Amino acid sequence: MTRIVIVGAGPAGINAAETLLAHGRQPILLDEGRQAGGQGYRKPSPGLRLDMNALMGSEASKYQALHERFESLRGQIDYRPGTLVWGIDGKTLHLQQDGRATTLDYDALVIATGAMDRIAPMPGWTLPGVFGLGGAQVALKDQGCFIGRRVAFLGSSPLLALAARQYRALGAEVVVIADTTPFVRKLAALPALLNSPRTLLRGLAYLGGAMRAGVPVLHGVTPLAVAGDGHVESLLIRDAKGRERRFACDAVALGYGLKPETQLAELAGAQLAYDEAFRLWLPQADADGRAGDGLYLAGDGMTIGGADAAEASGALAAHALLADLGIPSDAAAVAALRRRASRLRAFQRGLSQAFAWPVAQIRALPDDVTLCRCEKVSLGEIRQAMAQELGPTEVNRVKAMTRCGMGRCQGRICGPALQEIVAGVGNIAGAEAGRLRMQAPIKPVALAAAKAGAS
Amino acid sequence: MADLAERDATRHRAQLVRAVARDGRAITLTIDGREVAATEDDSVLATILTHGPRLRHLEFGGEPRAGFCLMGACQDCWVWTAQGERLRACTTPVRAGMALLTLPPAFAAPGPFATP
């Protein structure tokens, strides 16, 4: 029997498992998390007195439905929570579970590894109290904690308003929602956003709610500094009218949309291509998620589409896999899933313009700003290395010379900004700056564990 | 070491603030030698940061850090235990009797290493 492995138990992975099971196949579902749901539909850890219906708002019914569906299928599949896939070698996965390394061979692989916050550095962003925007939501959902008492939400993302609403609803003070994208650019993106009017209206309602509550909601801001002595004490920005404004706060949630976790797709052999709209390297797949021989991609780990697109694309990838095994599936259902995924992804392309990655702001950052927080490499060190005679204009060469991107996160945090700096200094297109190559282990693994697995 | 943690705790309040309570078994553990209370299923990160302003010090220059992504991606929240174990604080639940350190054990012991 063909062994099918799914990596990631978020909406994409769960839908893939459900579709395979409905067609008589029992996949192995590996997930680094201790509970299924992924990031967006993350379940509270046990015992938290958290009202998830209130927290999830208009998405509560989808959240509940996904978890109910997972509960009904988990006993019928080989579900392995708390399992990190840290390497892929041929058709063998390298795993770490409970501190022990093992391997698992597969015939077909569905990668649904999701996404994380995309971060633009700024002065002071390494101070304790600055966290990723999605992380600010995880602190609440997973641990029932706010990242601070008085929180500034900064970046460019529809999640700014959503996270701020969740924080306010539970009693935190939101001192500002500051978006770097000018308002006129949001209007220009309207036609694409009308692909999902419901989502658009929901976002506007969140912003309206914040404004009615007296929270300053600013567009077109330039982040100047997070200031404080050993911890966050204030956020300084320049507003769209050119005025400097300081907001006293003890935490900053920082995020510029999402960035797919593509490491495993790359190790499994998927081709990556530079996407001009998102300004990210994305793994390539056909409309159903086929990315290679026995390799299928789904969800935000393939391209940012949001939770609804992840559900559709997870099912699509499973249908593609079944079709390749010669198992007939429902052509009408597949066509409907394709339409749905394609429409939602078009909406996200619109969002990437309405909530733009701030290329010019990143390139204008001063030399003393830390770009790589793992290895403490400053922007000035990158610029200096590139300015040398025969200096590099490719990110892997810059990494080799400066150690930027060589730390424990493997460039997950600094990578997108490094790409813009290298392209800017080299005066070349984003794609020409190259792509930070991934390698195993994709996350730190104890040598003792790897040795135990090998013996 | 314990002095540093105490100074931090009094000089700056905790970074994370509990929004909702957790039902579960109460446990105790230590952070830099100081005994603190937690509830089973609290993360190491939430436990340390609801009791103080920082998780660790960067290996390069010693600046304070408190984690960043909170979802197991950035690897900026690894802390030590007195036994020399290393833990990713955001994804590791606390256990009763854990002895967590916000500095590597070599720094915590009296010796040639200065406290950053």
User: Tokens 């978006």 sit at which residue?
Assistant: A179
> Hey, are the CB atoms on B73 and A144 less than 8 Å from each other?
no
DSSP classification of residue A365: -
Q: Residues with Cβ < 8 Å from A175, sequence gap 6 or more?
A: A150, A151, A152, A215, A216, A235, A247, A248, A249
pLDDT of residue B59: 87
**CA separation for the pair A294, A291 (Å, rounded):** 8
B116 pLDDT more than 80 = no
Distance from CA of B25 to the nearest CA of A (A): 10
pLDDT of residue A86: 97
pLDDT of residue A111: 98
Geometric angle at alpha carbon A264, from A259 and A265, rounded to 5°: 80
> Hey, are the CB atoms on A444 and B78 less than 8 Å from each other?
yes
455 residues of chain A, pLDDT tens digit each: 899 999 999 999 999 999 999 999 999 999 999 999 999 999 999 999 999 999 998 899 999 999 999 999 999 999 999 999 999 999 999 999 988 899 999 999 999 999 999 999 999 999 999 999 999 999 999 999 999 999 999 999 999 999 999 999 999 999 999 999 999 998 888 888 887 788 888 888 888 999 999 999 999 999 999 999 999 999 999 999 999 999 999 999 999 999 999 999 999 999 999 999 999 999 999 999 999 999 999 999 999 999 999 999 999 999 999 999 999 888 999 999 999 999 998 888 888 899 999 999 999 999 999 999 999 999 999 999 999 988 899 999 999 999 999 999 999 999 999 999 999 999 999 999 999 999 999 999 877 666 655 55
CA distance readout (Å), B60 to A14, A384, A403: 41, 20, 12
CATH code of the region A4-116+259-351: 3.50.50.60
Average pLDDT value for chain B: 86
At residue A350, the 3 state secondary structure works out as: helix
The CATH number for A365-433, chosen from 3.40.50.12170, 1.10.10.10, 3.40.190.10, 1.10.10.1100, is 1.10.10.1100
Which of A175-184, B19-28, B56-65 has the lowest average pLDDT? B56-65
Confidence of residue B111 (pLDDT cuts 50, 70, 90): very low
Of B12, B58, B68, the CB nearest to A413: B68
Which chain A residues are Cβ-neighbours of B57 within 8 angstroms?
Answer: none
Hey, what are B44's tokens?
């190491």
- Secondary structure (DSSP) of A375-403: TTEEHHHHHHHHHSTT---SHHHHHHHH-
CA distance readout (Å), A24 to A76, A77, A93, A118, A328: 10, 11, 24, 38, 12
**CA separation for the pair A386, A401 (Å, rounded):** 9
Q: Is A157 exposed, middle or buried (0-12, 13-18, 19+ CB in 10 A)?
A: buried
Domains, chain B, ranges and CATH?
A: 2-13+25-108 (3.10.20.440)
- Secondary structure (DSSP) of A245-312: EEEE-SEEEEE-SEEE--HHHHHTT--EEEETTTTEEEE---TT-EEETTEEE-GGGTS--HHHHHHH
B4 pLDDT more than 60 = no
* Stretch B41-68: mean pLDDT: 95
Which chain A residues are Cβ-neighbours of B19 within 8 angstroms?
Answer: 140, 144-146, 170-172
pLDDT of residue A453: 56
Chain A with chain B: Cβ pairs closer than 8 A: 149
Which chain A residues are Cβ-neighbours of B54 within 8 angstroms?
Answer: 128, 230-231
pLDDT of residue B110: 53
| Closest residue in chain A to residue B16, using alpha carbons only | A147
**CA separation for the pair A174, A215 (Å, rounded):** 7
Q: Chain A window 34-73: which residues touch B at a Cβ cutoff of 8 Å? A: 34, 39, 45-50
pLDDT of residue A449: 65
pLDDT of residue B108: 59
At residue A447, the 3 state secondary structure works out as: helix
Let me know: does A223 contact A237? Beta carbons within 8 Å.
yes
Distance from CA of A105 to the nearest CA of B (A): 25
Common-topology check for domains A4-116+259-351 and A119-256: yes
**Interface pTM, i.e. ipTM:** 0.95
Mutate to test the interface with A, among B68, B92, B102 (most CBs of A within 10 A): B68
| Closest residue in chain B to residue A38, using alpha carbons only | B71
- Sequence ranges of the domains in chain A: 4-116+259-351, 119-256, 365-433
CATH code of the region A119-256: 3.50.50.60
- Tell me if the bond preceding B110 is cis, omega within 30° of 0: no
pTM for the model: 0.95
Quick count: other Cβ atoms within 10 Å of Cβ B62?
14
> Hey, are the CB atoms on A50 and B69 less than 8 Å from each other?
no
> Hey, are the CB atoms on B16 and A170 less than 8 Å from each other?
no
Overall size of chain A counted in residues? 455
